Amino acid sequence: MANEPEIRVDVDLSIRVFGMDADGRPFSQNAHARNVSMHGAKLTGLEHRLKTGDTIGLQMGNQKARCKVIWVVDAGARKIEAGVKMVEGQPCLWQKEMEHKQQAAEPAPRSAPSVMDKRKFPRQRVPFSLEIQDESGPGTNMRTRAADINGGGCYVETLLPLPAGRHLNVSFWVDSEKITTKAVVRTCDGGVGMGIEFTGLDESTQKRLQRQVEAMAAETKAAQKAQGTV
């Protein structure tokens, strides 16, 4: 049912939290995720004040995800708690822990509904190489990898993202062809990264790029399955 409350599970998971604090300073610290769901969690043990509405990063093991700060309770040093909600399309870092807890429960609860990605092309979490040039400064070049990408844009993790609205030239390889496209920064998450839209790609090139990143994602998933990591 549409109004059925989302399943939440009590856990105590060590995670890394990073981004920009409420004073505009970058931070990175260890904390705990508790009372988790497929789309969010309560964070405890925070040492840095956070601001509601900001985007921060979470890391558990070798997996990362971005989330929005929904609420903050500040009761003093090391007693800051925050509620976070995963950004659309981001992986659930504690999915295995939730499934394990749910399987042990009686009766077994239904899985929470997945969030539908409304993008034209689904994002793929693959390390895709890019070269970014800021149009406002000839000396501003960045060779990096996208954290996730699709035919219409990507997200680049960086402590010092460019401001929203900044115009860029982005270059990458599709098959054996080097593509350079106009682009614009759509989202700027201080201490975490920036979302970039490819504004100069025709539909045919978007589809070619999408096929390539989906093939890369399939190869990565097959390799992980062979190693028993998924």
| pLDDT 10s digits, 56-97 | 999 999 899 999 999 999 866 567 999 999 998 898 999 888
Domain identity same for 142 and 52: no
Tell me if 39 is assigned to some domain. Answer: yes
Specify the pLDDT at position 210. Answer: 96
Q: What is the span of the domain harbouring residue 85?
A: 13-104
Domain identity same for 133 and 98: no
Domain identity same for 220 and 157: yes
pTM: 0.76
Tally of domains within the chain = 2
Tell me if 8 is assigned to some domain. Answer: no
Residue 10 to residue 36: CA distance in whole angstroms: 6
CA 183 to chain centre: 20
Banded pLDDT at 229 (limits 50, 70, 90): low
Domain identity same for 138 and 219: yes
Lowest mean pLDDT across 2-16, 118-132, 158-172, 208-222: 2-16
Banded pLDDT at 114 (limits 50, 70, 90): very low
Domain identity same for 98 and 159: no
Cβ burial of 225 (10 Å; 0-12, 13-18, 19+) is: exposed
Tell me if 4 is assigned to some domain. Answer: no
Show which of 56, 71, 104 is a domain's final residue. 104
Domain identity same for 91 and 18: yes
Domain identity same for 74 and 158: no
Mean pLDDT of all residues in the chain? 86
Tell me if 112 is assigned to some domain. Answer: no
Tell me if 76 is assigned to some domain. Answer: yes
Instruction: Give yes or no for a contact between 167 and 135, defined as CB atoms under 8 angstroms apart.
Output: yes
Specify the pLDDT at position 139. Answer: 61
Specify the pLDDT at position 5. Answer: 61
Instruction: Give yes or no for a contact between 100 and 108, defined as CB atoms under 8 angstroms apart.
Output: no
The CATH number assigned to the domain holding 39 equals 2.40.10.220
- Within 8 A by CB and 6+ apart from 14, the residues are 30, 31, 32, 60
Tell which residue, 5, 85, 4, 75, has the closest CA to residue 41.
Answer: 85
Domain identity same for 51 and 142: no
pLDDT in tens, 75-86: 665 679 999 999
Instruction: Please state whether 221 falls in left (phi above 0), alpha (psi between -120 and 50) or beta.
Output: alpha
Tell me if 123 is assigned to some domain. Answer: no
Tell me if 109 is assigned to some domain. Answer: no
Q: Is residue 6 over pLDDT 60?
A: yes
pLDDT in tens, 19-65: 999 999 999 999 999 989 989 999 999 999 999 999 999 999 989 99
Domain identity same for 64 and 152: no
Question: HSE (CB half, 13 Å, CA atoms) of 144?
Answer: 20
Show which of 104, 120, 140 is a domain's final residue. 104
Specify the pLDDT at position 111. Answer: 38
Domain identity same for 53 and 136: no
Q: Is residue 170 over pLDDT 70?
A: yes
Domain identity same for 140 and 220: yes
Specify the pLDDT at position 96. Answer: 86
Q: Is residue 4 over pLDDT 80?
A: no
Show which of 56, 89, 104 is a domain's final residue. 104
Q: Is the dihedral of CA 188, 189, 194, 200 positive or negative?
A: negative
Domain identity same for 88 and 133: no
Tell me if 152 is assigned to some domain. Answer: yes
Tell which residue, 44, 46, 42, 41, has the closest CA to residue 22.
Answer: 46
Lowest mean pLDDT across 84-88, 113-117, 134-138, 173-177: 113-117
Specify the pLDDT at position 109. Answer: 42
